[in-house]
Structure 1
Amino acid sequence: MKFQNIFVLFFAVSMFFSTQNIAAQSDEVVINEIMYKSLKAFDTNDWIELYNPSDADLNISGWLLKDDKDTRHFAFPANTIIKKRDFLVIIESKNKFTNVHPGIENYVGSFTFGFGTDDMVRIYNSNLQIVDSVNYKSKSPWYPETDSLGPSLELISHELDNSKAQSWRPSYVMHGTPGRPNSATHTEDEGIDDMLLNVFPNPAISSINIEFDTQVDGDLLIEVYDVLGNKVKTILENYMQSGYYNSYWDGLDESGNPTPTGIYFIKVKSPNGILNTKIVKSN
C-alpha cells in the first residue's frame, strides 16, 4: 500500500513536469495570415495561419475554426500543438497546398468549406469562447490584390489590432508565407529614417514619378517588380551622395515593351535599409 502511494505520487509529479510548458488554454493565439483566394496558376485552395506569441507551447486540441457561418467549422484534432513563438497553418486541401508549398510541415486539415472574398475568420477554444476573429474585405481599406492575384493577407505585427485593415498588408512574397514569418513585417519601415520616398501619381496611367531624399552617401538601387516577384526594370543603380533626387518609371520593361495594367512594387535599396512601395498601373 505504501509502495502504491509512492508510485501514484511519482506519476503525478512526472505528469506535472512533463506538461507544465504546454498551455492547455490561452487567449494569446493570433490569426496571422489569410489566403482566401489564391492565384489560379498556383492554386493552394484556402488556408489560415495562426501564431503563438507566448513562451509556452499551446495545446489547441478541440478548438474550432469558423467562417461567418456557425454551421461550418473545423475542429482541431487531438494533440494539436502550436509551439512557442511558432506558427500553425490550417489548410483546405493537402494536395493543392503541398504542391505549392512542399517544404511546409506545420499544418493541419483539411477543412471542408472555403472562405469568401468578404468573410470572417474566427477561432474558438474548447469552451466555445471566442479567441480571435478577423472580418476582412476584398476592397479598400482592405487590399484587392489579395483577391486571386497571388499575395496573401499578412498581419504586420502580432501586437497590432488584427481587426483593423491598417494592421494588414498584402504579402511581398507570392503565394504568401505559410508556416514562417510574414514578409510584410520587413517592408515600408525598414530604413525609413535614412531615406524619404514619394511615388506619384498612384494609380498611374503612364509614367510614375519617384522622388527620394537620401540622407547618407552610398550605393542606391531602384527596381520595379511585378506581383509574381519578377524584376520588371532597373530604374537606377549608382553611387549617390546624400541629397534630393527625382527619377521616374516610364511603364516599360527592361526591353522597352509596355507593361500590362496591374500591381507593381517599387523597391529601393540604400546602405541603411530597403523600402517597398506598392503602385497600381491602370488604363
Structure 2
Amino acid sequence: MIRSEDTDLISEKAFAKILIQSEDTGLGLNWTGLNFEDSSWQSGQTGIGFERIAGDFDDLINFPILEMRGKNSSCLMRIPFEISDKETLNQIASLKLYIKYDDGFAAFINGKFVNGKNSPDPLLWNSRATKSHPDQLAMEYESIDISKIIPELFIGKNILAIQGMNTSRAGSDFLISPKLSYQTRSSIGISNSAITYSAPINLSSSGRIKARVLKEGEWSPINEAKFIVGSPANSDNLVISELLYNPKGNSEENEFIELMNISDQRIELSGVQFTNGIRYKFKDSDQLEPSQRLVLTPSNYEGQLDNGGERITLIDADGKIIESFRYNDKAPWFESPDGEGPSLVRIAPEKESDPNMASSWRPSITDNGNPGTSDAYPFEGGELLDYALNSNEKLPIRYEFIKDLNNETTSLICSISRNLGADDVLLTMEFSTNLKDWNEGIFLSDSLNSSDKNEISWKSQPISINLAGKQFARLKISTR
C-alpha cells in the first residue's frame, strides 16, 4: 500500500485562544465545546509556553506565557480548524494529533475527549501533570492516532481544545505545540511491489500487523493485531532485580532500574511496560537472553523513582501484572539505599522471592550499585556459617532489651553482621521464652544502624514486663 503526505488541519504557529485562570471560575469542561464563547481570552500562536531561563524550548515558543509560573499549573487553549465541505469530511480515513508537550496535556475535539498524557482524572481548573516529561522528549512530536473521533467532526468550524499542565505551578518551563492532520481514502492505493496474499505469512519478529481489504475501489477499515514471535515476557521469566532510587548527592541522573531474565531461554519484551512509578514501554524488537540483565535510566523513561518509596508496576503485553510492589526507605526496608550510596538489590532474583517483602532485598556492596551485573557470590561448599556471617566479628549475635513503658512490655533485639553478598543463604532469627516454642522475629533490616549496611536486626514479639522472664534467641541459616 502507498499513502500520500498528511493533510494539515492545524499547522505549526496556528491561531489559538489562551486562558490562564487564577481561580476557579466554574468553567468545568464547557470550554472544550465548539460554541464556547472565548472572545475574552488572549490570542496567540501555537508553540505556547515559557522558560524561566533561556534553554531548549526557546526556538519552539511562539507565544510566551511566563505569567503562568506561580499562578497556575494548567493553561487552557482553543485552536479552531476548518473542514471545507462534505466531500472532504467523507474522505477522511485517519486522523492524527502530533504534539510536543511539557509536562502533560488532555486534548478534546468539539467537546469530546480524544487523548491525554500525564493527565489526572478528573481534570480540575488547576490540575497538575501526574508525571514529568523529559525535555529531550518534549521537543519531539509524539504521534497519536485519534481516528476514533472522526464521527465527531463537522463541516465548517471545529475546535481542538487542550489543557496543558506542568507538574507544579512553580515549574521552570512549559510547552504545548500541537499539529492535527488527516489522510484520505483516495490517497491510499496499491503499491507496484504489493504481493497477492495466497498463503499464511511467516513472521520473523514481533510486531503489530495492520490490514485492510480493497473491494470495488473502496477500502475497508483497518484491522490490526499484535503478534509476539518467541517466548513472551511474563511473571514466570522476568523480574525487577535492582533499584537505585536515591543516588548519593543532589543529582538524580544516576538512578536506574534493572530487569533480569530468570529463565533458560530468550524472552520477547514486546508490549512490556512500566505503568506505575515510571513510564516506559519496550519496543517490539527488545529481547533478553537467559540470565541477562537490562538497565533503564532517566534518559530512557518518563518520571523518576521516588526517594521516599512508591509502587512500581510492570505489566506484560496482555496487561497482566509481571511484578507490582511498593519499596520504602523506612524499616523494615533498608535505609542505607536512601541517599547513602548503595542501591537496593533483589536477593537471589532467580528464586522469585516476594518483592513486597523487605527481606527479599538488601543494599549493594558498593556505592551506586552494580547495574547490569551482580555483586553476589555463590556458596561453593565449606562452613555455611563462615559463608553467611562476617568472620571478623567477635560476637556472632549482639543483643539488647528494649522496654515500652507505655504498654508495659519488653522485647529482645538481636543483631548480626553478615556477608552482604552471600545471597545463597536465608537468615532468620527465632525467639522463645521456654526453649520449646520458637517464633520468627520481626525483621528490622539496618534500621538500628544504617551506617553499617552489613548489620541486620530482628525483634522478638513484645511480652508483658510483669511476666517477662528469660528470653532466648537462635539464628537459623539455610540455603535458598
Pairwise TM-score range, normalised by the shorter structure: 0.5 to 0.7
Q: Is the 8 A contact 1:60 1:76 kept in 2?
A: yes
Partner Cα distance (1:50, 1:122) in 2: 12
Match of 1:193 in 2: 385
Match of 1:248 in 2: none
Match of 2:295 in 1: 89
SS in 2 for 1:121: strand
Match of 1:127 in 2: 318
Deviation of residue 44 (structure 1)? 3.6
Q: How many residues align?
A: 187
Match of 2:243 in 1: 34
Q: Is the 8 A contact 2:247 2:341 kept in 1?
A: yes
Match of 1:220 in 2: none
Q: Does 1:154 align with 2:351?
A: no
Deviation of residue 125 (structure 1)? 0.9
Partner Cα distance (1:122, 1:131) in 2: 8
Task: Return closer, same or farther for 1:53/1:39 CA change in 2, 3 Å cut-off.
Answer: same
The letter of the residue matching 2:355 is: N
The letter of the residue matching 1:192 is: L
Partner Cα distance (2:314, 2:371) in 1: 17
Q: TM-score, normalised to structure 1's length?
A: 0.54
SS in 1 for 2:270: coil
Deviation of residue 55 (structure 1)? 1.4
Q: Is the 8 A contact 2:271 2:316 kept in 1?
A: yes
Match of 1:74 in 2: 280
CA deviation map 1:135-193 (0-9, x unaligned): 11101110010101110100111212222111110111210111112x25669x99533
The letter of the residue matching 1:124 is: I
Q: TM-score, normalised to structure 2's length?
A: 0.34
Question: Greater share of helix residues, 1 or 2?
Answer: 1
The letter of the residue matching 1:264 is: D
SS in 2 for 1:193: helix
Deviation of residue 199 (structure 1)? 5.8
Within a 5 Å distance, the mapping from 1:1-283 to structure 2 comes to 12=202, 15=204, 22-27=230-235, 28-40=237-249, 43-68=252-277, 73-93=279-299, 109-158=300-349, 159=351, 160-181=353-374, 183-184=375-376, 191-194=383-386, 198=396, 200=398, 263-264=451-452, 277-278=454-455
Q: Is the 8 A contact 2:307 2:338 kept in 1?
A: no
CA deviation map 1:45-91 (0-9, x unaligned): 431111111111111122111335xxx62212231111111111121
Q: Is the 8 A contact 1:35 1:176 kept in 2?
A: yes
Deviation of residue 126 (structure 1)? 1.6
Structure with the greater relative contact order (CA < 8 A, sep ≥ 6): 1 or 2? 1
Deviation of residue 43 (structure 1)? 4.8
Partner Cα distance (1:62, 1:85) in 2: 20
SS in 1 for 2:305: coil
Partner Cα distance (2:297, 2:270) in 1: 16
Partner Cα distance (1:117, 1:193) in 2: 35
Task: Return closer, same or farther for 1:185/1:166 CA change in 2, 3 Å cut-off.
Answer: farther
Partner Cα distance (1:85, 1:20) in 2: 20
Match of 2:46 in 1: none
Partner Cα distance (1:43, 1:26) in 2: 29
Q: Is the 8 A contact 1:67 1:115 kept in 2?
A: no
Q: Is the 8 A contact 1:154 1:184 kept in 2?
A: no
Match of 1:97 in 2: none
Q: Is the 8 A contact 2:279 2:301 kept in 1?
A: no
Task: Return closer, same or farther for 1:25/1:169 CA change in 2, 3 Å cut-off.
Answer: closer
The letter of the residue matching 2:315 is: Y
Partner Cα distance (1:91, 1:39) in 2: 16
Deviation of residue 129 (structure 1)? 1.1
Match of 1:238 in 2: none
SS in 2 for 1:40: coil
Which structure has the greater CA radius of gyration? 2
Partner Cα distance (1:111, 1:83) in 2: 25
Identity across matched positions, percent: 23
Gaps of 5+ in 1: 94-108, 203-210, 213-260, 266-276
Partner Cα distance (1:15, 1:147) in 2: 44
Partner Cα distance (2:319, 2:378) in 1: 35
